Chain A
Amino acid sequence: MNRKISFVLYVVLAVVGLAILVMAVLSPSVGGAFSGMPIVIVLFLLAAAIAVSLIAFNPKKNAYSIGFYVLHVGIIMFLLGSFVFTVAGERVNLSLMEGDKTYYNQVSAGDEIIDLGINVRLENFTEELYDDGNPKYYEAVLGFYDGSEQFSKSITVNHPLYVGEWKIYLMGVSESESGASYVSFLFKKDGAEFLSTSGIILTIVGTFCMCILKPRDKVRYDRVTAADSPAASESRRGSQSAGSGKRGKK
């Protein structure tokens, strides 16, 4: 019964996935087809299908089966984490001008104004360049004021900053037509990041367990190579011809 439910879920998933691909081809903005509600439906259905398959499949208890469960549970966790972020997460871009000492606590994202819940300003920005003009190093110092105290924190690329519920990323620097430098930041709120990250780690560990720790397959491969390798075939042929030679002498 579980296998039938799993099969139906995979068929539904294939139809939805196909519909999204058609949308992606027909839609001028491909990104639109891969975000929002369509991807939420796909993630949910995929997680459900894998979960049902996991219950239906009952492998023997060995390193392979441990890997099997770890891998598929990891995929489900990652998909659920992405599902939660797509439904309830927030991403806001904020550009701050170098030298502007004003605190900002609201950001306009499309039609809506998002309250950051904290005042933020750019206090300092350091940029190092290679001889060919390409960027080598970015570092920004952000000043925060939460209504009672002021504090500063340093941020670099690849090392996001945690302030309250927000995770802040340094994205880069751009120059306006007037020559002013704007440093771009991303403010992200993701309640399911632990779930997603744990899912990814479990998926990697599970895949290695399944594919590398598989002594059964290695033994069978060895058996095949031992019995059927070209060297073995040649030695068999050699022994047969030697045997027939003896018989011939008799």
Chain B
Amino acid sequence: MTDISLRIICIVTALVYYASFICTFFKSKYSGRVSVGIWIVAVAMNAVIVGNNWIVNGYMPFVSMYQVLTFLSLTFAIVYIYVRYMHSGAFMRRYFIVAQGVIMTGVSCMDQTSEWSFPPALQSAYFIPHVFSYMISYSLVAVAAILCVVSIVKERSGNSSELRIYEWGMYNLVCTAFPFMVCGMLLGALWANACWGNYWSWDNKEVWSLVTTLALCVYLHFRRCPSLKKYSKYFIIAAFAFEIITLFFVNMFGGSSVHSYS
């Protein structure tokens, strides 16, 4: 596929995600099914983009930011299916869909070069589990942060049962995200030790990923403490902000880094 056709597919995929998101607000009898149908079409298009990147390169498409984000958008679908059936999280669908739409909008504005060289340092057994763990955790934290913002907005309405659902939804999302985030970070440490002889090098991206993990850690600890529980959800928003810094801003403004290719 040419770069222009990929860009067009990315834009259309983003629009289809938004269409599915809008359908979730309609109250008619079939709006739910229509939304799911449109969402499946969008996910299929997203999978085509990821598949194209995979075939062109011959390895899991995790090297450039464009490849990582298209895969991240697809990861939301996988994670939603897990949350839907394991945590009764059907009510979170619209938040997963809007997150996918936002990511694909960002991807549409990026350089869509599919083919990237795969440097020797990345040719490791740790590469795929390290990135995949982070993709899962990032998608879950993003949706948890959206739920958190929605619950703060809805606090004014004072519907305590609805707020409790959002609270437990956030908690379950973070409980699923946290071990994957820890796993991603520590597999990265093992990989760094195998590649450069150092578990930790205080690289910009490493420091910010540690800060993100610690923010979630603080959330989980605060949540267990009755006097601090009311402040805990703000750490999900903080973790999401740190996640954005880790994923985007460190590469843009962080200078030289061992993660400069990601």
A residues engaging B (CB < 8 A)? Answer: 30-31, 34-35, 82, 91, 130, 132, 134-138, 156-160, 167, 169, 171, 186, 188, 193, 196-197, 200, 203-204, 207-208, 210-212, 214, 217-218, 220-222, 224-225, 227-230, 233
Contact = CB atoms under 8 A, between A and B. Distances in A.
Contacts of B172: 217-218, 221
A136 B179 contact: no
Contact of B196 (A130, A169, A229): A169
B257 interface: no
- The interface residues of chain B, by DSSP majority, are classed as helix
Given A158-B195, A203-B182, A207-B182, A228 B165 contact: yes
Given A136-B118, A221-B88, A212 B176 contact: yes
B54 interface: no
A217 B168 CA distance: 9
30 contacts: A30-B202, A91-B197, A130-B117, A134-B117, A135-B117, A135-B120, A137-B123, A156-B120, A157-B121, A158-B120, A158-B195, A196-B193, A197-B190, A203-B182, A204-B179, A204-B186, A207-B179, A207-B183, A211-B176, A212-B176, A214-B175, A217-B175, A218-B86, A218-B172, A221-B168, A221-B171, A221-B172, A224-B164, A225-B165, A229-B165
Interface in B122-168: 123-124, 161-162, 164-165, 168
* Residue of B120, B121, B195 with most chain A CB atoms under a 10 A cut-off: B120
Contacts of B179: 204, 207-208, 210-212
B91 to A, nearest CB: 7
Nearest 6 CB-CB pairings of A with B: A228-B161, A134-B117, A157-B120, A130-B117, A207-B179, A188-B197
Contacts of B162: 228, 230
B195 A200 contact: no
B87 A221 contact: yes
Contacts of B86: 218
B178 interface: yes
A91 B198 CA distance: 10
A212 B175 contact: yes
B153 to A, nearest CB: 16
Contacts of A132: 117
Nearest to A160: B194
Nearest to B177: A211
Contacts of A31: 202
Contacts of A30: 202
Contacts of A35: 202
B164 A158 contact: no
